[in-house]
Amino acid sequence: MSSDSDHQCPVDGAVDQQEMIPSKKNAVLVDGVVLNGPTTDAKAGEKFVEEACRLIMEEVVLKATDVNEKVCEWRPPEQLKQLLDLEMRDSGEPPHRLLELCRDVIRYSVKTNHPRFFNQLYAGLDYYSLVARFMTEALNPSVYTYEVSPVFLLVEEAVLKKMIEFIGWKEGDGIFNPGGSVSNMYAMNLARYKYCPDIKEKGLSGSPRLILFTSAECHYSMKKAASFLGIGTENVCFVETDGRGKMIPEELEKQVWQARKEGAAPFLVCATSGTTVLGAFDPLDEIADICERHGLWLHVDASWGGSALMSRKHRKLLHGIHRADSVAWNPHKMLMAGIQCCALLVKDKSDLLKKCYCAKASYLFQQDKFYDVSYDTGDKSIQCSRRPDAFKFWMTWKALGTSGLEERVNRALALSRYLVDEIKKREGFKLLLEPEYANICFWYIPPSLREMEEGPEFWAKLNLVLQFIDHENVCVPPTLGAWKKTWLLVFSINPTIFG
């Protein structure tokens, strides 16, 4: 008989090192591949991660947020191709070379967390969101079923519930999507499904000519969504806006009546809360009245302006948003949750999202699991694999609290007011209009043009000058008449400026 010592089990976590490395004798070989051999050098990989994290901390978190550093070491495309080693080779490259490549990537990238980055509608660095992103990248989850992503599904549910409260709904539904453009597309398809549910199974062949209405200053994703969904861009009616870029309700109702007269089927109105260029907020209450009279789904694209809901001082900008059927809201913009962090929120609580998008994949969404399958939210999405984007916002919200997020909004709009006042004091700067949000639209007029009369020649020369200024150049909307062929500067203020 053998003694007990001959069969001692290893302590938890301890593994016989000889068992980890297969000998030639016990190697499992298939098609010339050793299946039970090492696939990667774990020690080298761990060391690379450690050194890369140190590089990120030094060159991105610390250095790139220094106002004395450059926002970007700009190079033209062809020159940048020569500076970067972009070629993928047959053999792998050593860790020290990979770290050099990482350093080059950081060096020549735009530092969107820099205090002087004023380009698109996002900027700044939120440390808590950054840590959340590190965690999710390391865990590499996919948010479709509770069994594979229990924590992140509960986090998403909690965040959506809180955002729904700020809209003013007693209950609702929602899902995080990869971008506000996708949220708008989801809403358009959801409105169409509500109006004509047979389209999901039978397609467009027997459907009426569907028409939707949106502001002339809407985001371009509305046209893309109409094209992608087969509605057609010609069936997107752009409603005239006033001098501030707001949809004119009377013009909306005229277009609805005209569409009905032509035999079309209106089904959706998309209002905008915070347009991309002027930062305009459409009059939601008046638009909601029209939608109720005509039985139209009201979607509010608040991707940019939705964060004002966090501020008791500024939430009046979205007065009437509680009457919407769906809302797109991007916390990655003013609330700095990190790209991408975008929610579609729906007032309906009858599982409309799931009915519209589900495919009932039996290998994934079994109904006889060992837990409450209502937490398997993947069938609300057109995606299968989905990132836990809500976690970034949740971590920031937990760190700052609602009051901290409110202060972030208030600070951004106070900084906007400060910039407007400074523009008015300085010669050569011309404010386009008084902003109601964080979009500051102005021209810089060089000395050579300041005495010139405003006419075609003036605007042509000004247009040439402003194309060389290193900030966002945005074409003025057509509603601004004589200015439409010039370029103006648009600053989108974020809460980290001067801080």
Q: Please give the average per-residue pLDDT across 246-251, as a whole number.
A: 98
Q: Give the C-alpha separation, 463 to 445, whole Å.
A: 10
pLDDT tens per residue across span 476-495: 333 333 333 344 556 566 56
DSSP β-ladder status, 173-177 and 342-346: antiparallel
* pLDDT reported for residue 361: 85
So what's the architecture of 131-398 in CATH? 3-Layer(aba) Sandwich (3.40)
pLDDT at 284: 98
Mean pLDDT confidence for 416-426: 93
Q: Which fold has domain 399-491?
A: Aspartate Aminotransferase, domain 1 (3.90.1150)
Would you kindly state where each structural domain of the chain is located, as residue ranges? 42-71+73-109, 131-398, 399-491
What is the pLDDT at residue 119?
72
Query: How does pLDDT run across 456-475, given as a tens digit for each residue?
Result: 999 888 888 766 664 443 33
Give the best-scoring range by mean pLDDT among 111-125, 279-293, 352-366, 470-484: 279-293
Q: What pLDDT is attached to residue 286?
A: 98
pTM of the model: 0.88
What does the pLDDT read at residue 34?
84
pLDDT in tens, 37-52: 777 888 999 999 999 9
More confident residue, 337 or 37: 337
What confidence score (pLDDT) does residue 489 get? Answer: 59
Q: Per-residue pLDDT tens for 161-194?
A: 999 999 999 999 999 999 999 999 999 999 999 9
